[in-house]
Chains A and B, each alone.
Chain A
């Protein structure tokens, strides 16, 4: 009756580990963004702001996770090489598709912040980073992955089709 888990499941603590690193980086981004949320100056000046650079890097990391899959994300590799060998085996495994989809959602949210900041919209970067922070914080601390829930809802509503089906 293993209807809902694929045979090559992943350790659910892997994505949570990655979300922990991401949430700290996002909180720093929000802090840096808040100290000057006006998004003023020239395009080059805005693109050089620390908050912008950090969010751009985080967007690229989300894109990596979404395209290559959660297991090949740098944090996923870090987890399987350094953290997992020190932990007890997981009580259960989960399919890799939902957290991979969650990376895509994270990418869309963070790239929105990047674009809004380049367009000179005040607080655009701060709001997008805050939303992404809340999602990654919930994943890391409570084990609630909003992007994964969204994936399950979309599959159930048949809006997207499962790759394995």
Chain B
């Protein structure tokens, strides 16, 4: 094979690997909010801090590379925001719950209200800014809900 063809193939290889990496990077920290009619059960109250407005419930697993990073970030968010708690559980200890709540990767973080309702989930590792943004949204929608009750 001549050197031009070889160079082009090497470039293609780097390109494909970069695309795969960018796709993975993009999938990390993706936030989803369950639809109102989603048949997801609530989180058992003993796993959350019922005195907090919102619990960041982190699902970690054995040998999960980014669970430690996520632990630091969520700990920081809960330290910065009064009324926000961080809890971490191991999927090995809660296989049933992991299945019921459709947690398919570690780390997965659920934003859970004090009544056990899941507001949103963050798949994979994220950063403090996105977590803070999602927390703000959860607090706002919770406030809107309680205002409705007042009327």
Residues on A close to B: CB < 8 A? 1, 3-5, 9, 12, 27, 30-31, 34-37, 91-95, 97-98, 130, 133-134, 137-138, 141-145, 148-149, 151-152, 155-156, 162
Contact = CB atoms under 8 A, between A and B. Distances in A.
Contact of B17 (A3, A9, A133, A148): A133
B13 A133 contact: yes
Contact of A92 (B71, B90, B106): B71
Pairs A-B, 8 closest by C-beta atoms = A142-B21, A92-B68, A137-B17, A3-B90, A152-B63, A134-B17, A34-B6, A98-B63
B20 interface: yes
Interface string B63-75: 1110111011000
Contact of A156 (B3, B21, B61, B87): B61
Nearest to A129: B13
A27 B60 contact: no
A27 B13 contact: yes
B137 to A, nearest CB: 26
Interface residues of B, number: 34
Contacts of A149: 65
A35 B10 CA distance: 11
A144 B87 CA distance: 25
B35 interface: no
Given A1-B88, A144-B24, A91 B69 contact: yes
B62 interface: yes
Contacts of A148: 63, 65
Given A130-B13, A138-B20, A144-B21, A155 B69 contact: no
B69 A92 contact: yes
Contact of B60 (A3, A37, A93, A143): A3
Contacts of A31: 6-7, 10
Given A92-B72, A93-B68, A156 B91 contact: yes
A156 B24 contact: no
B13 A4 contact: no
Nearest to A136: B17
20 contacts: A4-B68, A27-B13, A27-B14, A34-B10, A35-B6, A36-B1, A92-B68, A97-B63, A98-B63, A134-B20, A137-B21, A141-B17, A141-B18, A144-B21, A145-B65, A152-B64, A155-B63, A156-B61, A156-B91, A162-B62
Interface string B13-52: 1101110111011000000000000000000000000000
B65 A30 contact: no
A164 to B, nearest CB: 10
Contacts of A5: 67-68
B16 A134 contact: yes
B64 A138 contact: no
A52 B63 CA distance: 34
A141 B21 contact: yes
Nearest to B13: A130
